[in-house]
Amino acid sequence: MGKNIGVYICDCNGEISKTVDVDAVSIFAGNQDEVVVSRVPNNLCSTDGLEAIKKDIETGKVDRVLIAGCSPKRYDDLFRNAFEKSGLNRGFYLRRNIREQCAWVHEDKDIATEKAKLLVKSGISELKLCEPVQEIKTKMGRTSLVIGGGVAGMSAALDLAKNGFYTYLVERDEELGGRAFNVSMTHPTTECGICCIHDCRDCVLTPKPEEVYCNENIDVMLSSEVVDALGHVGDYTVNIKGKNGALRAINVGTVIIATGYKPFDPAKIPEYSYDHKNVLTSLELEKLFLEQKPSRTGVRRPSDGKVPDTISFIQCVGSRDINKGNPWCSLVCCNYAIGQAKSLKKMHPETDITIHYIDIRASYRGFEEFYNEVLAMGVKFLRGRVAEVQKLNDDLQIICEDTISGDPVQTKADMVILSIGMEPNEDTKRLAEMFHRELSEDGFYRDLNLNLNFSPEARTGAFLAGCAQGPKSIRYSIADGKIAAGLAADMMRKGYILAEDTLGIVDEDLCGRCRICVSLCPYDAIKLEEIEPGKAIAKIDPAGCTGCGVCGAACPTGAILMSQFKDDLIYAQIDALSEEV
């Protein structure tokens, strides 16, 4: 087959052409061997730009395409799919980054242009040696495992089950519901219709544990934990330790991690006197709400049973606090405190309630109105981070500065409520390793990437939902569960995965059976296959392989090659880069 290379240089609306002479690069590329087309199309990544390239492919003018423009992380899928539709094998399409790696990092136009030429030249020399990519069908199990039986996990399990996928739901606690079912209400619930009394935790929008227990497609495992997992996307064998320590192994195609969060421990900020009986966290206040709910007798303070005359809420306990807590905003605490203050005000209209805040973040639909409603009810809002909560026998005293007036504030409170933030759960890291997911620096899972072909979800079959991925409200955790279930269902529906052979390949004639690769594969994708009695050579399962290259680097014989990064391709690029242009 002839090598008719088309080189398309993008000016990125001036982003590239302001420091790179794209026309000079294009002329340079056009003079290289086997390059038949070299152009600077208008708006390369737009429909028009793509159409022009597709036309070159469809008319048979070019059979290998090099795009020099932005980072290959951008639009890669778009380009691949567009060109593939025109009949170009994915293996014959390459990118070179002359924006982030060239235009944006240089000031001198001559130097940047020179470098862009080199990058394009290395791409051309690589493209000459590229081979077509074949697609391989691999197993995709049609069952799923949801870890965590909170609202996100329940919502995911219910959606999967409704779509006909048998789902295992593993919950560490004795019952489903998670943290949402330890709160007395959701806010600003006004959608419940006729019976709505605005403090009902069983809002129609939240999934019900009963629904989950009753569903014939869901196998609920309570008081259970995931012990370990072997395998990869499409084919995980997961060991689950149930009640009494009994182990059970299940096989699933996808996994949804919905393990939630851990509340910030306020004892880490000793100035807030959490050891005092009348200093409670927002979650502990919930318990008081729930306890009085049947009798509707209102809240009493723990030390002496008195109806509190004054209650102070302290916001951002452990949140937005790089010194004593975490840098992030926990998203729900403002609305939550406002809701709790409203409930308290309704129970005890005489009680003086103050919310000490830094900023009120009443985002999302209905919450700003909710905030104004509570403000109108007489709940006070005082801006400024509280410095100290002093203990005065049963009572407490708040020391802070009103940062609006600039006045120092010293005010008594019968009860103090600490609005504690969210932290990653202890299990996060262990599960991340098990299911090959990465964590961000904050300790939550790295963000969902909906560009499915290259997302971590596609590589690992492990999806995320709810607060495992960072602070979220109940409503958005439930939505998350639905998204994760939808993505997992999309993946499982066909019953197989099309893996590309852009992965590790073992040359069977060279494998010395040393087993170094088997020990190292982070995806358990390398198995031993007996070729003659007693001789088992390494074999890479394309379904599990992500092309990470660990085995290729470790293979001491060179039997393992990464199909897209073969030595000759790399040498060709080094040669091209080390020549003058």
Partner 1 sequence: MEKLKLALYWAASCGGCEIAVLDLDEKILDVTAIFDIVFWPVAIDIKYKDVEAMPDESIDVCLFNGSIRTSENEYMAHLLRKKSKILIAFGSCAHEGCIPGLANLSNRDEVFNVVYLDNPSTENPKKITPKTSTKVEEGELTLPEFYDTVKTLDQVVDVDYYIPGCPPPVKLISDAIDAIAQNNLPPKGSILAPLRSVCDECKFERHEKKIKEIKRVYEVEKIEDKCLLEQGIICMGPATRGGCDARCLDANMPCTGCGGKTPNSPDQGAKMISALSSILGVEGEEEMTEEDVDSLIDQVIDPVGTFYKYSLPSAFINRRPLR
Please answer whether residues 291 and 300 qualify as being in contact, where contact means their C-beta atoms are separated by less than 8 angstroms: no
557 touching partner 1, by CB under 8 A: yes
User: Residue 566 Cβ, how far from partner 1 at the closest point, in Å?
Assistant: 9
User: Residue 514 Cβ, how far from partner 1 at the closest point, in Å?
Assistant: 4
Task: Indicate the helix (H) or strand (E) that contains 458.
Answer: helix 456-460
DSSP strands (E only) in 10-161: 35-39, 64-69, 93-97, 135-139, 143-147
164, 553, 575, 579: which one binds partner 1 (CB under 8 A): 553
**Cβ-Cβ contacts under 8 Å for 458 (sequence gap 6 or more):** 233, 452, 491
| Cβ nearer to partner 1, comparing 200 with 516 | 516
User: Residue 524 Cβ, how far from partner 1 at the closest point, in Å?
Assistant: 13
User: Residue 265 Cβ, how far from partner 1 at the closest point, in Å?
Assistant: 24
| Cβ nearer to partner 1, comparing 344 with 555 | 555
Among residues 237, 260, 264, the alpha carbon closest in space to that of 249 is found at: 237
**Cβ-Cβ contacts under 8 Å for 457 (sequence gap 6 or more):** 448, 449, 463, 487, 491
Distance CA 262, CA 264 (A): 6
| Cβ nearer to partner 1, comparing 416 with 431 | 431
440 touching partner 1, by CB under 8 A: no
| Cβ nearer to partner 1, comparing 196 with 553 | 553
| Cβ nearer to partner 1, comparing 203 with 550 | 550
277, 556, 575, 579: which one binds partner 1 (CB under 8 A): 556
Distance CA 522, CA 519 (A): 9
User: Residue 535 Cβ, how far from partner 1 at the closest point, in Å?
Assistant: 8
- Which 3-state string (H, E, C) describes 122-172? HHHHHHHHCCCCCEEEEECCCEEEEECCCHHHHHHHHHHHHCCCEEEEECC
554, 565, 577, 581: which one binds partner 1 (CB under 8 A): 554
User: Residue 537 Cβ, how far from partner 1 at the closest point, in Å?
Assistant: 9
Site for partner 1 in 488-517 (CB under 8 A): 507, 509-516
Sign for the CA dihedral angle at 457, 12, 106, 580 comes to positive
358 touching partner 1, by CB under 8 A: no
559 touching partner 1, by CB under 8 A: yes
User: Residue 457 Cβ, how far from partner 1 at the closest point, in Å?
Assistant: 24
Q: Give 261's strand partners.
A: 424
Distance CA 26, CA 37 (A): 9
307 touching partner 1, by CB under 8 A: no
Site for partner 1 in 517-546 (CB under 8 A): 518-520, 535
36, 129, 227, 550: which one binds partner 1 (CB under 8 A): 550
158, 561, 569, 576: which one binds partner 1 (CB under 8 A): 561
445 secondary structure, DSSP code: B
- Binding residues for partner 1, rule: CB under 8 A, are 507, 509-516, 518-520, 535, 550, 553-559, 561, 567
